[in-house]
Structure 1
Amino acid sequence: MHVHVWEISGFVKLNRKYAIFLEKTIKQQFGSFRRFSKDCKVYRRTISRACQREGGGFIKMSSLFKFTDYLGLKRGRVEKHIEFFRDSRVGAYGRTYELNFPFIITPKAIRLVSHIVGDGSVYKDCIRYSQNDASYIKKLSEEVVNPLGELKIGVHYRDGMFKEQVFDIPMVLAKCVSKYLEISLGDYKRPIFLEKCLNLPRDFKVQVLAAFMVDEGHVPKKKISMSDRRIVERLCDIVDSLGYKRANIRFERYPQRYKGKIYYPEMYSFVLLGKGIRDFSNDLKRAVGRYGSSLNLWNKQGELENTVKSHNYIFLEKHEKAKNLRMNISSLARKEKVIQRSSIIRQFNANPDNIDFILKTLVNKHEISRIGHGVYSYDK
């Protein structure tokens, strides 16, 4: 699971040793930069900059591989000598990262871009994440892209009061993941992103759900709510693929105040059931043990632990077994048309009192009728 540097756009700087090698190779084969520039159709100044003779060494990706291809150099070897990457050669978005290529897609990378769906905004030159506390995503970003300097967090104010913190998710990360998933940057806000994530390994899908729980979740209620039904449906597909028990999607309206007025936006939500939230918590613990503490629920981790502790899982497991037994007996009645209490007890090796309770429940639901002592017929 990786992306090569030539598959994305950006500006790169080679290490000094390879820059010297390029200069020697060009002069040996062509005599001068001027002649080589004319033959390969790349500006002489660009070639000179790549060899670190002027301008600091950062050049456009496409230009680098255009002239190294002309020299007959293998792209994989050139890639390994890239020392730094920038989204732009100069300017506000020209942050510098010390990355190794090919870039490996990890659960941390997927966790980062998954936050774009909920509280992220995609612009032409940047992807911005807004939250009350953006320090967690800043720390995770620094672990993934290894910036030369500290990444900055901005602050938004409204009417002179604190509104939220804002953080620019590194574009190089978003580009690499979108290339691997074969989507555009704008697709991070669309259901297709989650459709692509559905095919990822388990550890990756757990982090997708974790991002939604942080941004759009109410942990004590075990609920995730969003206004886009299609995104909620795709997220439920991921939950189902992980084997987490959940309730069906519900349509709700929540009163919200904006600029002094109350309105009721349409929301779609689903709830993780007791066993589902426990399994999710266990998977997160394994992820933290394997990849580090930045992959838990951040400021909501304490709420998750308290929610898991509050459930009586012995009762839940008994309830689940009883539910499955009732479904099996109902299915048997539908198939056989006539069933006997004694044969059901032997077939399912179940407690007679439990069987009596289930048979009574099915009678009350008009699924079966009692036609004799311990004999029942299917009604529907």
Structure 2
Amino acid sequence: MAKKKISIKDIAKALDISITTVSFILNGKAKEKRISSELIARVESYIQETGYRPSHLAQSLRLGKSKVIVFMVEDISNHFFASIARLIEEKAFENGYKIIYCSTENDPKKAKELIGTFKVRNVDGFVITPTPDLESTISELLEEDFAVLLFDRWMPEVDCSYVIVENEQSAFEATEHLVMQGCKHIGLIHVESDQMQMKLRLAGYRRAVMKYGLAEHVLHVPFHNYSENEELEKITGFLKANPELDAVFFSTNYLAFEGLRAIQQLGKRIPDDLAVVSFDDHYFFSLFQPNITGIEQPLHQIADRLMEGMLELLKENGNQKAVIREVLPTVLHPRGSSVKKGDK
């Protein structure tokens, strides 16, 4: 059962003093209002005992809205996150808001420190791609009445608003597409991660190969623990160790880039020797010959729903009465890399 939040009214009632007096003490105005040191000590002691946290909403009403939203992602230089950031910035500006960008590098310690820094600066809301072990920090933001909207991934343990894409079904359809092209030995090159979107992409692949009675061939690449050359070597080793593969599905586009290098170095022809599909379409896929089949995430739609959702939460004064749970569809773009010639 959720613990009841303590309000200024509760403090005043418990100590038999006025709400105004409590407010002056909390806002650092006790001395100018000539409130006794003894009374200040009583209030501070009670706050410490009860674990009272001042409401961000109340602070905003007193101090005025900052009109600033934090956009906290894994890596702001990543094409996907950078594209969303650019679209969000336009929509925020149109609505009178400014955006602060930052990268967590998927490091929980860095994420927590950044959130702590921005909290004291009285920002109005957070759009976050959460790192692992961030559940308690997100819960604290919600308890303190900040508007919080997760995207790209979410946390099942936290009742928080989010905007995501349909990861499992998208991965299933991409794998099924390869099956329909006659592929019978489909490999998945995947990020080894506890992130929910990665778990679902793996689940989608597994559901498809199980449906069609095919064997699993999965390479787990540790999350950003490898340099590009190490990723290249790992993928090359996987392809050499599984010469029967006639198709490969990359769960991220940055793995696909290294995979394409590996395929070229091994002298394999796309799609004759190996069909290729990648999650998260990229502009450079259209420059590669043959063009690479990709799963497009709806960037404009994601940005629209993030900004609309954040404005809705801010309109609710950040108290999270409105819980937004948006799961957006993706689009598979079949191109030359996965259209097989003849039967395997």
Using the size of structure 2 for normalisation, the TM-score is: 0.26
Say which one has the larger Rg.
1
Structure with a larger share of its residues in helix: 1
Which structure exhibits the higher relative contact order, with contacts defined as CA atoms closer than 8 Å and separated by 6 or more residues? 2
Using the size of structure 1 for normalisation, the TM-score is: 0.25
